[in-house]
Amino acid sequence: MIDFKTSQGGNTRIENDTLETLRCALRGSLLLPADDGYDISRTLWNGMVDRHPAAIVRAAGAGDVMQAVNFSRDNNLLLAVRGGGHNIAGKAACDGGLMLDLSAMKSVRVDPATKRARVEPGALLSDFDRETQAFGLSTPTGINSTTGMSGLTLGGGFGWQSRKRGLTIDNLVAADVVLASGEFVQTSATQHPELFWALRGGGGNFGVVTSFEYQLHPMGPQVLAGLVVYPLDQAKQVFEEYRKFTATAGDDMTAWLVMRKAPPLPFLPVEVHGKEVVVVAFCWIGDLSRGEEVTKPLHGFGKPYSAHAGPMAFADWQTAFDPLLAPGARNYWKSHDFKAMTVDVERILCDAAATLPTDECEVFIAQLGGATNRIGTADTAYPHRDTEFVVNVHTRWHEAADDKTCIAWARALFDALTPHATGGVYVNFMPEDEAQRVATGAYGANFDRLSELKTKYDPANLFSQNQNIAPKA
């Protein structure tokens, strides 16, 4: 017999014969703690998360997902669902429950005639980019190739293409879902439209998506992208020029700011390594013949230490930040949405950047606006259609002894920024300890509708290991 945690926090025991019946019903595998592959499946991107499920179903297809969901529901088990395992909150694993691992389901199938892609939930951005770029196609995703397509999409999804083509969810045209009842349904604007609405930003609250279908767009394969690195003592001038530049930037242009200590990048002089810097990271996805002229001002925000920019394959640019975001480190995030980067926000960020607690901590400012804000607040579960900038406070370190210092620094900066922010937050940037922000911060005016749909599709809250939308009592 094996002890499991129940969805209510209690304990239950499952007979070995019952588990063996589940194992035989799977095309994939059932992993117990002593089995090869168990530790690989349970290990997530955030090194702070170290959870041990009682068992793991490593699914090979939708049939396995249905088996796992039915088994969890029928035995009242705590259930966690893993896609790419990259989410900061670490909800993809649970202690003592059943973990449904979708990471082996990585298929990406492109139809170049219809410009559509069918993507399984274990696919990473790197899997998606390799397949779609082979056809000169893409859709808006994130900026780190090790991110999972599933979690990114269910939370909203934004990156270098979003100002021109919207969020990832704005390009989602259909999804296959296994509900808490075990039923398999297909969703789109015409099939289960209310469920399809909820999936576009509502996280993993409403079921397990076994296939996403995206609208694709001509893209690259080359873009004009790169980094311009300025000393932190020039940050005031950089911010002033950045405000002017982003105020008039077209939808093909996206520029982010990153404040951190300079990593040992090969294009930076050795004497700059470890110094506080403000980095302009940019991507122009329009006509390359115009790109040099459009991006030239980014090199003149001050006197940069150095720059590394030019035409490059979009798929390569998507991997540019991977070395700085490798799995295994301890990570804690705090995030705010903003309508503008004001002088007060600039001052707070610059003061904080001068006191970074570790060499890997950073603050990044993501530029949104454009097409992301041409969708109505109520058109998708994701409601933040007036956000122009997202500030993410990203603390990163390796020793548990530094937990208190790094988390306190992130929270202090978050608190200082709060009076200047909208009150909204991107759900994929929320750490585990922010449950109080789900209703008003993550979903706002859309929360009541989401709660009603949760009550309809998951009344017992089987899918609770997420930024949870509880069903109505």
User: Could you tell me if residue 447 is inside a domain?
Assistant: no
* Sequence-distant (≥ 6) Cβ neighbours of residue 3 within 8 angstroms: 11, 12, 13, 54, 96
Q: Tell me, yes or no, whether 251 and 327 share the same domain.
A: yes
Residues of the chain with pLDDT under 70: none
| Residue 443, in any domain of the structure | no
Residue 246 in any domain: the answer is yes
Q: What is the CATH number of the domain that holds 139?
A: 3.30.465.10
Tell whether 189 and 239 lie within a shared domain: no
* Residue listed under structure tokens 């349970």: 42
Residue 64 confidence (pLDDT): 98
Q: How far is CA 119 from the centre of its chain?
A: 16
Q: What is the pLDDT of residue 26?
A: 98
Does a structural domain hold residue 473?
no
> In total, how many domains does the chain have?
3
How far is CA 461 from each of CA 93, 247, 427, 455, 470, rounded to the nearest angstrom?
17, 43, 19, 8, 7
Residue 473 is predicted with a pLDDT of 80
Model pTM above 0.95:
yes
Give the structural domain span for 29.
2-101
Query: Is residue 122 located within the same domain as residue 42?
Result: no
For residue 96, the model assigns a pLDDT of 98
pLDDT tens-digit map of 35-85: 999 999 999 999 999 999 999 999 999 999 999 999 999 999 999 999 999
**Do 328 and 394 reside in the same domain of the chain?**
yes
- In 141-275 the beta strands, taken as DSSP E runs, fall at 172-178, 184-188, 208-215, 217-218, 222-231, 253-261
Could you tell me if 215 and 119 are in contact, meaning their C-beta atoms sit under 8 angstroms apart?
no
Positive or negative torsion for Cα 182, 184, 187, 193:
negative
- Same structural domain, 131 and 12: no
